[in-house]
Amino acid sequence: MSHTHTHGNKDDSHHKAAPMVEEVTDYEVLEIAVRELAIEHGLFTAEDHRRFTEWAESIGPAAGSRLVAKAWTDPAYKTLALTDGLKACKEIGVDWAEPTGVGTPSDYMEFHVLEDTPTLHHVIVCTLCSCYPRPLLGMSPEWYRTTNYRRRLVRWPRQVLAEFGLILPPEVEVRIEDSNQKCRFMVMPVRPAGTENWTEEQLAEIVTRDCMIGVALPKPGRTADVHPIQKARRPVKSSHQEAAQ
């Protein structure tokens, strides 16, 4: 009996699954082999490995948001964040040296917070691969790892930022910081107007992941869970709408 995989829309019958690498490489085999042996030798358990895998894939940018919000409200902490990023991370419960459960996935130990000013804007990138401050920001977004972003940002930063909807005035210098194997960075944006007397928790909500990469600016009312609200200027009537009329 034949079966067509659909989701209730006739057009879905043409949907193709994303391609996969149909090849077992020695790298894949090596990773499995060494992990199995490590478990058999009692170096760690399969359960622990599963838990760390689940955690590594689920941590988000909340720690980075907390760091920025704390720095905005506590001048002494801000000084610490700008002079000793690792120590500042420890104060908010993120230890880059030890995977403590809230700390680090495997990463490196050189970390700097880049302070934006009204005339200086930072953006982070990894031109070589996908280095990213994961203990603070979680897994990097897919676009961060694309060659489109990695190669073009360093050449045409304003153009790339404009593609994210961020258009900076010419008097603002744009500085691109290239992460690498040894060193990770994170952007501390300028605290926006209209947030006076806000609590750290309120401030943390508007410091989204993209603000700490540098492709967006924090703004009161703009949080990570807010959906776009701009209506299309020239909407085209879809077949769904026509059918509903």
Partner 1 sequence: MSGDRIPLLEATRSQDKTWEALAPRYGVTNPNPPWKTSLTAMCDCLAVSGALPALERRNAEDELADTLYNDIPSPERELLALVHTMVSRGLVSEADLVSRMKTVRARLEEV
Task: Check if 211 is active-site.
Answer: no
Calpha distance 190→117 (Å, rounded): 6
Under 8 Å between Cβ of 173 and 122? no
Q: Which one of 65, 89, 131, 211 is the catalytic residue?
A: 131
User: Side chain identity at 17, as an amino acid letter?
Assistant: A
Helices 46-58, 26-40: inter-axial angle, 10-degree rounding: 130
In our burial notation (b when 16+ CB lie closer than 10 A, e otherwise), range 182-192 reads eebbbbbbebb
| Sole binder of partner 1 in the list 2, 4, 9, 25 (CB under 8 A) | 25
Q: What angle (nearest 5°) sits at the alpha carbon of residue 182, between those of residues 166 and 158?
A: 15
Please report, as residue ranges, which positions from 116 to 175 form the binding site for partner 1 (by CB under 8 A): 129-130, 142, 145-146
Regarding 53 and contact with partner 1 (CB under 8 A), the answer is: yes
Judged by beta carbon, residue 26 or residue 225, the one nearer partner 1 is 26
In the complex, the smallest distance separating the C-beta of residue 99 from partner 1, rounded to whole angstroms, is 4
| Sole binder of partner 1 in the list 6, 34, 60, 173 (CB under 8 A) | 34
Q: How many residues bind partner 1 (CB under 8 A)?
A: 48
Calpha distance 224→203 (Å, rounded): 12
Please report, as residue ranges, which positions from 177 to 206 form the binding site for partner 1 (by CB under 8 A): 181-182
Positions marked catalytic = 126, 129-131
For partner 1, the binding residues (CB under 8 A) are: 18-38, 41, 43-45, 48-50, 52-53, 55-57, 97-99, 104-106, 108-109, 129-130, 142, 145-146, 181-182
